């Protein structure tokens, strides 16, 4: 009986303490070390929305954003300004703005809808490349037929059917760093395939590594099929993710400086390991020279996925970063830029 009374008092005390401390932790108290052990005990999964913004528009069944496997306690969280204008990214099927440090959602529309994401997949591929290859410059990768005959965008061909430079050749040996550049800057499918097969042996095994990583990150609306993001014929419905999951992957990838340094490289050339073959690489980021606050973008397109984009940006203090994702948006560049501008104009970090 005494144990039961003590337990009730303890839980009551924790509840009162959480109410008192909540404002000081910006809504992130539940992720703090204070409640680290209690979180699993209570088996609770909370919705992490921006402070000052109602979560009444979010359906608990369809659009609740779980933070159980999310971000560590951040030094700052975004707070929406009083009477700030609303945002409506009406041209995108799905869209989201995520604070890269705290995981707080600033804007959300169909963020957990599962759909094809095309080359946005390559952000996850890049994470696994960096985690599994110790020396990107010395790691030599031999190109095979499967990579050379990949569909869509390839090295030397910045868009399908539009080739401006030498393509990869069967038997060519090239560094992992060169392929990473081509994959992130030019969205080259041959590079993604070559990297994935080099790491795992087959595309299927690499896709399993991607799905294992997604599970490790706590992502619940993703299933990857290929390193490139190209759907598998007849199994297209098995290849999907969501705007929220992509934003989470992008935020996670920020711990790897090489990925984001690569996103910002302007047009460049890469070479085979012996230096005899050169390939010109174009950066598909239209905002590279127009938007100083842009940290990087990743484009994606297939007929099923539509035009999709991940954009990361920082504020004028360079202390706070957001990630904007739009899926199936014919005006992806305009909308993603507007989303970033809106986020920084209508929120303060405190």
List the catalytic residue out of 178, 187, 228, 241: 187
Contact 189, 154 (CB under 8 A): yes
Cα 222 to Cα 242: distance, rounded to the nearest angstrom: 7
**DSSP letters spanning 20-81:** HHGGGGTT-GGGSGGGHHHHHHHT---B-B-BTS--TTS-TTTSPPB-TTSPPPPS--EEEP
Which phi-psi region, left, alpha or beta, contains residue 18 (left: φ > 0; alpha: ψ -120 to 50)?
alpha
Task: Collapse the DSSP code of 193 into the 3-class scheme (helix H, G, I; strand E, B; otherwise coil) and give the result.
Answer: helix
97: closest CA among 49, 145, 164?
Answer: 49
Residue 33 annotated in active site: no
List the catalytic residue out of 119, 175, 178, 228: 119
Cα 336 to Cα 298: distance, rounded to the nearest angstrom: 11
Residue 187 annotated in active site: yes
* 185 Cα distance to chain centroid: 15
Cα 181 to Cα 174: distance, rounded to the nearest angstrom: 12
List the catalytic residue out of 122, 154, 197, 298: 122
Contact 147, 114 (CB under 8 A): no
Residue 276 annotated in active site: no
What residues act catalytically? Answer: 119, 122, 187
């Amino acid at each position: 009986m005494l144990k039961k009374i003590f337990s009730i008092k303890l839980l009551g005390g924790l509840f009162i303490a959480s109410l008192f401390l909540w404002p000081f932790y910006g809504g992130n108290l539940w992720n703090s070390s204070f409640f680290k052990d209690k979180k699993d005990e209570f088996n609770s999964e909370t919705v992490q929305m921006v402070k000052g913004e109602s979560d009444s528009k979010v359906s608990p069944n369809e659009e609740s954003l779980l933070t159980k496997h999310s971000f560590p306690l951040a030094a700052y969280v975004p707070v929406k300004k009083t009477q700030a204008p609303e945002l409506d990214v009406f041209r995108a099927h799905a869209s989201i703005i995520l604070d890269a440090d705290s995981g707080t959602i600033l804007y959300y529309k169909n963020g957990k809808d599962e759909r094809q994401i095309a080359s946005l997949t390559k952000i996850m591929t890049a994470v696994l490349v960096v985690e599994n290859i110790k020396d990107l410059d010395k790691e030599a990768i031999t190109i095979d037929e499967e990579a050379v005959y990949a569909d869509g965008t390839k090295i030397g061909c910045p868009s399908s059917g539009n080739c401006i430079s030498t393509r990869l050749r069967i038997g060519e040996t090239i560094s992992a760093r060169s392929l990473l550049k081509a994959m992130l800057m030019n969205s080259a499918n041959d590079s993604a395939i070559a990297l994935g097969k080099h790491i795992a042996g087959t595309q299927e095994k690499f896709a399993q590594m991607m799905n294992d990583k997604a599970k490790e990150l706590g992502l619940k609306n993703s299933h990857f099929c290929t390193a490139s993001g190209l759907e598998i014929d007849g199994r297209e419905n098995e290849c999907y993710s969501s705007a929220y999951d992509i934003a989470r992957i992008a935020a996670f990838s920020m711990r790897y400086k090489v990925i984001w340094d690569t996103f910002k490289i302007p047009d460049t050339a890469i070479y085979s390991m012996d230096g005899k073959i050169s390939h010109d690489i174009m950066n598909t980021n239209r905002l590279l020279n127009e938007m100083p606050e842009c940290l990087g973008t990743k484009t994606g397109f297939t007929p099923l996925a539509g035009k999709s984009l991940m954009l990361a940006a920082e504020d004028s203090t360079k202390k706070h970063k957001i990630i904007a994702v739009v899926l199936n948006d014919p005006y992806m560049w305009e909308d993603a830029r507007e989303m970033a501008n809106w986020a920084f104009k209508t929120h303060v970090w405190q």
